[in-house]
A and B are shown apart, each in its own frame.
Chain A
């Protein structure tokens, strides 16, 4: 009887239902705003990726420079053989994921290939857009950033960041035709903790920056920033005179300041301090040395000391024919670029395509 009353009550109140029209418009507006916010997060991811690329080799080089008696002894009697010298070109994958390792799943919003050529004179950075439509092994056609989700998501459990990195690497290997020798994946917290672990950084800005996220204003002056503030600054793009380009310059300033901080505290020359810092960053940074042994990579890191860093960028087309907005590679560029990556001829490629060098 009460059941019938319930049915009647529900049916009767159907008239309360508002018109869907205005709501539909409000949903679209809000979705646009959130997409923009996601974009800002993605931009920060790029910053993180570049930072790791810059800082990890430096840290690693320092580790390699630490006293190592068996190697310095140099006689055949040593029980630990000197690491094999890595001769060929190397490819690394650096990922910045969208925030924290959370149960709702993570995507890799920043995807950066790092190519170290055979002659070690330069470091090439090739970024791929996270919205690039790709074939993900075992998952079909989707956006590139989803590969990390598929690889890392463990329903009800902690995400497996290494699994996400691996599937993303496989996806890109299939697309580009190169195998990765290692990788680094950084969460949002990773950058914040890293900054706090060195006691903050000093950054001098040439224009004031207002945060669209926190309303904090960073003056056009030298200032000392903790982890949260640094992260906030590096997320800003919209308010800058040259937008993304100025933000990249802030990222460079930050990376330089961070390395300076590490150096001044003698962190880089003291393996114990360095490992304390890395420990402090904790699970915000996942390093994967891939098939190579760590000592081999450390030797490479020493070799690329002082190498020029060359960023490669190109425009993408948005493809709306497959539902959702996918970025599409421009085959005229990507075919020769990927071929150059495979054949380790990026130097010649950059010389032939100076317009695609981002700095």
Chain B
């Protein structure tokens, strides 16, 4: 597989994943760009992985979680809070408003917790694989998810 083939087939998927992680299309582009530049420059190493796709997803997730190391974070800090109203199709039903509220709460979770939620509830990955991507134990993943869910639940109760 060449880098070009990989980008052809996976770029859109990675972008979608990055949108879920960051909650913002511009940040998602920055994150994917930074990751894919590194993928391209180190393609030989990437393609040698058992699954290049998983390897890249792991790179991208780490880039997102490990904010201290990424040059990417400079741009993140310069931007204000993710624009919650941006480009979300407007639907006036109350249920939708609640869900959009969840979306904005997600943005306030610690990054690792948010990544764990995305991997389980958007990517539908088993906990073992989530642990591998985040580079921690399965128990840590479960603890992070339950903490994140508890936070979200508490906020949901508060606003009711």
Contact = CB atoms under 8 A, between A and B. Distances in A.
A34 B37 contact: yes
Interface stretch (A20-28, A120-128, A211-219, A339-347): A20-28
Given A2-B149, A323-B43, A23 B11 contact: yes
A2 B40 contact: no
A359 interface: no
Contacts of A31: 37, 40-41
State the main secondary structure of chain B at its contact with A: helix
Contacts of A146: 44
- Which secondary structure characterizes the binding site on chain A? helix
Interface in A1-33: 2-3, 5-18, 20, 23-24, 26-28, 30-31
Interface centre among A8, A10, A14 (most CB of B within 10 A): A10
Nearest to B106: A9
A13 B103 contact: yes
B19 to A, nearest CB: 5
Interface centre among A17, A28, A35 (most CB of B within 10 A): A17
Interface in B68-113: 86-89, 96, 98-100, 102-103, 106
A143 interface: yes
B108 to A, nearest CB: 14
A14 B15 CA distance: 10
B44 A323 contact: yes
What range describes how many residues of A lie at the interface?
Answer: 20 to 34
A355 interface: no
Interface string A224-245: 0000000000000000000000
Given A10-B118, A18-B25, A27 B15 contact: no
Contact of A2 (B41, B100, B156): B156
A7 B122 contact: yes
Nearest to A326: B44
Contacts of A70: none
Interface in B1-59: 2, 7, 11-12, 15-16, 19-20, 23-25, 28-29, 32-33, 36-37, 40-41, 43-44, 47
Interface in B107-141: 117-118, 121-122
B44 A16 contact: no
B15 A15 contact: no
Contacts of A142: 44
Contact of B149 (A3, A11, A13): A3
Q: Which of B36, B43, B117 has its CB near the most chain A CB atoms (within 10 A)?
A: B36
A324 B99 contact: no
A146 B45 CA distance: 10
A14 B2 CA distance: 27
Nearest to B102: A9
A2 B36 CA distance: 33
Contacts of B98: 5
Q: Which of A12, A27, A28, A35 has the most CB of B within 10 A?
A: A27
Contacts of B40: 27-28, 31
Given A5-B99, A324-B44, A10 B121 contact: yes
27 contacts: A7-B121, A8-B99, A9-B100, A9-B106, A10-B118, A12-B96, A13-B19, A13-B20, A13-B88, A15-B87, A16-B87, A17-B12, A17-B15, A17-B16, A17-B25, A18-B15, A18-B19, A18-B28, A18-B29, A23-B11, A23-B33, A27-B33, A27-B37, A31-B37, A35-B41, A38-B41, A323-B2
Interface of A: 2-3, 5-18, 20, 23-24, 26-28, 30-31, 34-35, 38, 142-143, 146, 323-324
Rank and list the top 6 A-B pairs by shortest CB-CB distance, nearest first.
Answer: A10-B122, A20-B11, A31-B40, A6-B121, A9-B99, A27-B36
